[in-house]
Chain A
């Protein structure tokens, strides 16, 4: 009998040790494949400096990445380090999924260079929970051959929505299949909210009192109905239903790569997207890129104009970006932080930022000659002077999903009145009537 107990105890110990050992010796990191070179080169450097510790790479495709991370975190199966879209940091930190980094970053000499504003987005209740990889700006990309075919001016600088709609009409007359694609619908996920809806919304109302946003920030209330929201949905309706400048199916049957190829091929004339496209149109990992001059011959971009009404913004911009965070359940946070600093070590980070034309998040990189001498980055940084961020408070994820749903309903042909009413009521369901405001 005793022998049996001893055996069982020995077996249990072996299992426990066996389960615990790899957790101590190995690290793992989950990341979006468009950031592969940044993560993988950083990990290589870490492994060279820390022989015996292996980092398992969990590389996932961009499509559906956000859903997978949310599931891994909520089920407790997430790895030690996780790449997280910046707007979700507050949401995840508030749920207790992420480890606050304050104690560790204060001993890291490169932390001082991070931009304060971007760290705010990666913070929750005054604590930093993630380190940003990059930031971005948003614009209207266009196919230069299409513009030449339609007799449109190039460089192009539309002043109002009507200018863009007029250009789209000319492109349509010239036989372009999808003259203007604004990301819409549920399959585009955050792109529909940020590259599309929010960029239009910011130019559709007076910035005073946040009437051009999804949320009145100082009142802590979501906007259920406003002239700006209606004007934005009307723009979607004009583009997708009334004028048929874009086919709704583009937002469903094509993935990111498919949409990019369509712009390069010229079947899409104008595409609302962001600064990363300078690389991503060809290759998001920055390998095999044509020269900047060759790329500039094929595509150009213009800032998103406002709706042209007095008092509204002349051009709009909203910035996001990605981050890497440490799992609150990581068995060995100190080693995980070492992996993190290896990824963000200046040389690796600078190489990646410049090769991929990402916008820098640190002053030591932004002032490095390799960065300042890049003409594309210099021009994009101009746009970043007048930018804003998303409403990154817990709950934004749901609001964003409701916005995507609202644009999908426009694609279905529903009226703006019906869509706004449904959006408002769904917000009340989620947050309560006292947290939802209507702007007349």
Chain B
């Protein structure tokens, strides 16, 4: 308190007022998290006897995450989906686009940027319809490419549903990585790159040894955001495949939705969401550490 600046001291009341929204937000976050954690130890259900007369069942819900089919399989699908669509697809593709677009100006750049942004701006449900229309047996891919080449029509959503969903999400989410990396690359001063060139560094070496280390915090920020989004992503996948066929694209968010509202086991659903929070939290801490400047 002794260190408080005179300005702050005189404005204590307005400061408290300004903090109210933040306090309300934190309270709401704590409330909902506490709700999920509390109910994950109960057999609360959406309807029926257990919706009113729920009991504490200890760690049963958490034990079932590992002893019953579903959670581990969905976790694996989610990891594959997140790794390939966000970390590999959106990041690498977004960076490559941002790097290659730097020399291009004018209408060429505008066209590419608008195209990328379209995927981002299109509502998920519309995007799901487009991808379904594109990849179905009588969709564009088949009628325009596969069949003219003499191959029989191929149902992409039947045997390669996860791949289709991953590609659709790369298409949808690359804009964010592109924008972030574009801004990051703009912040690198030309002199440093020129100096590297004069010292004889090749193109790849300049990217690997100069550019990437400089934008390292941006990479970590980008990873942090897209991991959180992608790990808990729901609408496009649900609208496109409903988690199927079978459980081929049943990511954790869809698994939780089925268990909570299809089966009606809110307690189990809460345990699934707590597990998701723990996983995403651990990943976030990892990325936040990467944000620190290397020693």
Chain B's nearest CB lies how many Å from the CB of A412?
4
Q: Once the chains are docked, how many angstroms separate the CA of A408 from the CA of B243? A: 10
Mark the stretch among A7-15, A54-62, A89-97 that contacts chain B: A89-97
- Contact between A73 and B47, CB atoms less than 8 A apart: yes
- B70, B157, B246, B262: the one within 8 Å of A411 (CB): B246
- Contact between B263 and A401, CB atoms less than 8 A apart: yes
Decide yes or no whether A397 CB sits under 8 A from chain B.
yes
Decide yes or no whether B16 CB sits under 8 A from chain A.
no
- Contact between A422 and B68, CB atoms less than 8 A apart: yes
Q: Which residues of A contact B290 (CB under 8 A)?
A: none
- A267, A395, A413, A429: the one within 8 Å of B48 (CB): A395
Q: Which residues of B contact A249 (CB under 8 A)?
A: 155, 157-158, 161, 241, 244-245
Chain A's nearest CB lies how many Å from the CB of B236?
13
- Contact between B68 and A426, CB atoms less than 8 A apart: yes
> How big is the A interface, by class?
35 or more
Fill in one digit per residue for B235-277: 1 if any A CB lies within 8 Å of its CB, else 0. Answer: 0000011111111100000000010011111000000000000
Q: Which residues of B contact A426 (CB under 8 A)?
A: 68
| CB nearest to B257 among chain A residues | A67
Q: Once the chains are docked, how many angstroms separate the CA of A379 from the CA of B8? A: 84
- Contact between A70 and B264, CB atoms less than 8 A apart: yes
Q: Once the chains are docked, how many angstroms separate the CA of A92 from the CA of B132? A: 36
Q: Once the chains are docked, how many angstroms separate the CA of A431 from the CA of B247? A: 25
Mark the stretch among A182-190, A284-292, A293-301, A346-354 that contacts chain B: A182-190
**Residues of B within 8 Å of A, CB-based: how many?**
33
Chain B interface, >50% SS class:
loop
Chain B's nearest CB lies how many Å from the CB of A91?
5
Q: Once the chains are docked, how many angstroms separate the CA of A52 from the CA of B192? A: 77
- B49, B69, B242, B262: the one within 8 Å of A252 (CB): B242
Q: A248-B158, A425-B68 are in contact. Are A186 and B242 (CB under 8 A)?
A: yes
Fill in one digit per residue for A395-438: 1 if any B CB lies within 8 Å of its CB, else 0. Answer: 10110011011001111110000000010011001000000000
Decide yes or no whether A253 CB sits under 8 A from chain B.
yes
| CB nearest to A74 among chain B residues | B46
Tell me how many residue pairs across A and B have CB atoms closer than 8 Å: 110
Decide yes or no whether A71 CB sits under 8 A from chain B.
yes
| CB nearest to A92 among chain B residues | B47
Q: Which residues of B contact A227 (CB under 8 A)?
A: none
Decide yes or no whether B136 CB sits under 8 A from chain A.
yes
Q: Which residues of B contact A189 (CB under 8 A)?
A: 262
Q: Which residues of B contact A412 (CB under 8 A)?
A: 246-248
Q: Once the chains are docked, how many angstroms separate the CA of A94 from the CA of B51? A: 10
- Contact between B48 and A91, CB atoms less than 8 A apart: yes
Q: Once the chains are docked, how many angstroms separate the CA of A95 from the CA of B47? A: 6
- Contact between B241 and A253, CB atoms less than 8 A apart: yes
Fill in one digit per residue for B103-143: 1 if any A CB lies within 8 Å of its CB, else 0. Answer: 00000000000000000000000000000100011000000
- Report A68-107 residues with CB < 8 Å from chain B CB: 70-71, 73-74, 88, 91-92, 94-97
Decide yes or no whether A251 CB sits under 8 A from chain B.
yes
- Report A178-225 residues with CB < 8 Å from chain B CB: 185-187, 189
Q: Which residues of B contact A251 (CB under 8 A)?
A: 244-245
Chain B's nearest CB lies how many Å from the CB of A253?
5
- Contact between A248 and B244, CB atoms less than 8 A apart: yes
| CB nearest to B73 among chain A residues | A412
Decide yes or no whether A33 CB sits under 8 A from chain B.
no
Q: Once the chains are docked, how many angstroms separate the CA of A251 from the CA of B248? A: 13
Decide yes or no whether B9 CB sits under 8 A from chain A.
no
Q: A394-B48, A422-B68, A425-B68 are in contact. Are A248 and B246 (CB under 8 A)?
A: yes
- Contact between B246 and A247, CB atoms less than 8 A apart: no
- B241, B247, B264: the one within 8 Å of A408 (CB): B247
Q: Which residues of A contact B70 (CB under 8 A)?
A: 405
- Contact between A253 and B132, CB atoms less than 8 A apart: yes
Decide yes or no whether B52 CB sits under 8 A from chain A.
yes
- Contact between A185 and B246, CB atoms less than 8 A apart: yes
Q: Which residues of A contact B47 (CB under 8 A)?
A: 70, 73-74, 88, 91-92, 95, 97, 397
- Contact between A394 and B49, CB atoms less than 8 A apart: yes
Q: Once the chains are docked, how many angstroms separate the CA of A252 from the CA of B248? A: 11
Q: Which residues of A contact B247 (CB under 8 A)?
A: 408-409, 412
Question: 11 A-B residue contacts at CB 8 Å?
Answer: A74-B51, A92-B47, A94-B49, A185-B242, A187-B243, A253-B157, A397-B264, A398-B265, A401-B262, A404-B262, A408-B244
Inter-chain pairs besides A88-B47, A397-B47, 11 sampled, C-beta below 8 Å: A70-B264, A91-B47, A94-B48, A187-B242, A189-B262, A252-B241, A395-B48, A398-B263, A398-B264, A408-B246, A422-B68
Binding site for A on B (CB under 8 A): 45-49, 51-52, 64, 68-70, 132, 136-137, 155, 157-158, 161, 240-248, 258, 261-265
